[in-house]
Amino acid sequence: MKKLSALITITVGLMALPATNALAAWTELGSNDAMSVLVDTATLRKDGDKAQILSMLDLKKPGVNPTSKQVVNSLIGLNEYNCSNATYRPIEFKEFSGNKGSGKVVTDNKSPDAPFEPVVSGSWTAGVFNLACKAK
* pLDDT over 80 at 72, yes or no: yes
State the CATH architecture for 2-134.
Beta Barrel (2.40)
* pLDDT over 70 at 1, yes or no: no
Closest by Cα among 13, 104, 86, 2 to 55: 13
pLDDT at 136: 65
pLDDT at 4: 39
* pLDDT over 60 at 132, yes or no: yes
The 10s digit of each residue's pLDDT in 17-60 is 444 455 679 999 999 999 999 999 999 999 999 999 999 999 99
pLDDT at 6: 36
- What's the pTM? 0.81
